[in-house]
């Protein structure tokens, strides 16, 4: 068999990749034509490709490499655990030390009333678990009719049948017959795109009150839970007006429904606290976790569950579980990752130093002629692109056309900055230095300049 290594010519790697590897969220025929960028290694805040480019990773992989690349301690934790106990399960009344230690650590880090962890290998699976958890909870409490879960349009909660159903992405629902029954979506709090002439504070209240309206319309006896990301990530890093968050909590308190905070992106320091719900002032009954839990070094996720839910679920056999639940190697790596985040003060540094520094620089990006709004919470930020800042107009082109041009310029300038429609987004490693923040801003500005020039050249610089 031919050995495929980093040292093969890029074109050969690309051809083999296109021939055999089906990529997620990708038009495979287009990829085959262009060839994928081959990433070969990474260090700190940088990734390297097969052509020798050193690229600043403004997305921390896929919002997950919170402690940055190249931490030997995590390699050592995996090696030790693989040698000692590479696999065992926790079905059938068994357990193992990494599962015990990680659960205890998560209970310590999570808000006081959240002390119980059910594991998965991803955020999607954890949200599938959540659907079954909340429905089983209400059934056990003698209220089986409470099965509807309310979510939001343009939310992202994963790609499994349950996760994609909870999510509010139209393109995902259009494929494969989704959503599954008893999932209901309200509008998102995206003032920039949907606020019209409404004052932002008023708009925030109005969007939050859609939750109350939905509960009343569907019936409190039918609604099991509301799920939301503290800050919408994949939807475009949308930071709602300040009035939104407290109103959501008020409504959840008033009605007998559970609040699921999807912390897959916001958790583990991203917003400047251990969990995004702390930043936005929510008291969730369940938190979905993944990504930053292991800084992406191992696939692991889960649901951190309240004492009350764990007690009720504990009365029955919960017929649910994955082969890799609390996988010992993944759990050992996650535990080491949490130790580093904790002992090196990385979360507090985001809150007190890197976050405020990035926020100041990010706000200055709003002075760019193409940027209408610059939003940021901790180390996740977005820029809304527009040809007219005053009217918040969209471009006279399909949504995302100009965003895509800018993303391509970012790549060319050795910066990973994503686009969601015509919003540019960042979510860099939390360990970024201040100099690296400066570099990110410099490359982002240059890329927007070039993207704007290209948009003008292509006749896209017009209001749609």
Q: Which two tokens stand for residue 163?
A: 């996760």
Which of 279, 288 has the CB closer to ligand PXG?
288
CB of 131 to ligand PXG, least distance (A): 13
Do residues 67 and 60 touch, judged by C-beta distance below 8 A? no
Among 31, 62, 107, 214, contact with ligand PXG (rule: CB under 6 A)? 62
> Residue 146: what are its φ and ψ, rounded to 5°?
-80, 90
Per-residue tokens: 429? 């490693």
Judged by CB, which is closer to ligand PXG: 322, or 461?
322
Q: Would you count residue 265 as binding ligand PXG (CB under 6 A)?
A: yes
Residue number closest to ligand PXG, CB atom = 123
Whether 377 and 245 have beta carbons less than 8 Å apart is answered as no
Under the binding rule (CB under 6 A), the answer on residue 290 touching ligand PXG is yes
Closest contact distance (angstroms) between CB of 401 and ligand PXG is 18
- CA 294/CA 299 separation, integer angstroms: 7
Cα–Cα distance between 149 and 258 in angstroms, integer?
9
Helices 434-457 and 355-364 pack at an angle, to 10 degrees, of 20
Residues 150 and 215: beta-carbon distance below 8 Å: yes
123 or 269, CB closer to ligand PXG? Answer: 123
Q: Which stretch binds ligand PXG (CB under 6 A): 15-23, 47-55, 261-269, 308-316?
A: 261-269
Other CB atoms within a 10 A radius of the CB of residue 130 amount to: 28
Q: Are 62 and 291 in contact (CB under 8 A)?
A: yes
Question: Segment near ligand PXG (CB under 6 A), from 9-17, 123-131, 316-324, 399-407?
Answer: 123-131
Among 227, 264, 437, 444, binds ligand PXG (CB under 6 A): 264
By CB under 6 A, the residues from 144 to 183 that bind ligand PXG are: 156-158, 163
Largest Cα–Cα distance of the chain, in whole Å? 66
How many residues bind to ligand PXG according to rule CB under 6 A? 18
The structure tokens listed for 147 are 């099965």
Is residue 262 a contact residue for ligand PXG (CB under 6 A)? yes
- Among the listed ranges 9-17, 196-204, 229-237, 361-369, the one in contact with ligand PXG (CB under 6 A) is 229-237
Location of structure tokens 């287009």: 30
**123 interacts with ligand PXG by CB under 6 A:** yes
Binding site for ligand PXG (CB under 6 A): 62, 122-124, 127, 156-158, 163, 229, 233-234, 262, 264-265, 288, 290, 301
């Amino acid at each position: 068999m031919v050995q495929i290594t980093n040292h093969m010519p890029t074109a050969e790697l690309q051809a083999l990749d296109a021939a055999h590897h089906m990529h997620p969220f990708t038009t495979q025929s287009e990829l085959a034509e262009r060839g994928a960028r081959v990433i070969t290694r990474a260090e700190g805040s940088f990734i390297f490709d097969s052509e020798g480019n050193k690229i600043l990773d403004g997305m921390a992989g896929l919002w997950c490499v919170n402690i940055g690349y190249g931490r030997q301690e995590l390699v050592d934790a995996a090696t030790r655990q693989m040698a000692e106990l590479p696999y065992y399960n926790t079905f059938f009344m068994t357990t193992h030390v990494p599962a015990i230690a990680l659960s205890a650590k998560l209970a310590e880090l999570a808000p006081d009333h959240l002390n119980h962890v059910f594991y998965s290998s991803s955020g999607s699976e954890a949200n599938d678990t959540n659907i079954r958890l909340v429905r089983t909870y209400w059934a056990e409490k003698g209220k089986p009719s409470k099965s509807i879960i309310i979510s939001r349009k343009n939310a992202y909660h994963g790609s499994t049948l349950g996760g994609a159903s909870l999510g509010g992405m139209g393109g995902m629902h259009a494929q494969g017959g989704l959503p599954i029954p008893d999932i209901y979506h309200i509008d998102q709090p995206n003032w920039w795109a949907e606020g019209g002439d409404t004052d932002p504070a008023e708009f925030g209240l109005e969007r939050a009150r859609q939750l109350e309206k939905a509960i009343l319309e569907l019936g409190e006896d039918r609604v099991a839970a509301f799920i939301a990301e503290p800050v919408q990530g994949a939807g475009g890093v949308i930071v709602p007006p300040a009035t939104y968050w407290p109103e959501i909590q008020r409504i959840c308190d008033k009605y007998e429904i559970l609040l699921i905070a999807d912390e897959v992106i916001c958790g583990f320091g991203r917003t400047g606290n251990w969990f995004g719900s702390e930043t936005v002032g929510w008291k969730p009954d369940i938190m979905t976790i993944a990504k930053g839990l292991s800084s992406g070094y191992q696939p692991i996720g889960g649901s951190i569950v309240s004492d009350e839910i764990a007690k009720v679920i504990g009365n029955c056999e919960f017929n649910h579980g994955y082969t890799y639940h609390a996988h010992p190697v993944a759990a050992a790596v996650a535990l080491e990752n949490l130790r580093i985040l904790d002992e090196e003060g990385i979360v507090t540094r985001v809150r007190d130093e890197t976050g405020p520094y990035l926020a100041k620089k990010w706000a200055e990006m709003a002075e760019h002629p193409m940027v209408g709004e610059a939003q940021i919470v901790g180390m996740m930020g977005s820029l809304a692109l527009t040809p007219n800042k005053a009217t918040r107009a969209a471009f006279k082109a399909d949504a995302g056309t100009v965003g895509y041009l800018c993303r391509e310029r970012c790549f060319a300038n050795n910066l990973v900055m994503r686009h969601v429609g015509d919003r540019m987004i960042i979510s860099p490693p939390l360990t970024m230095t201040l100099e690296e923040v400066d570099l990110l801003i410099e490359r982002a500005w240059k890329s927007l300049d070039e993207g704007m020039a290209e948009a003008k050249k292509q006749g896209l610089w017009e209001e749609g």
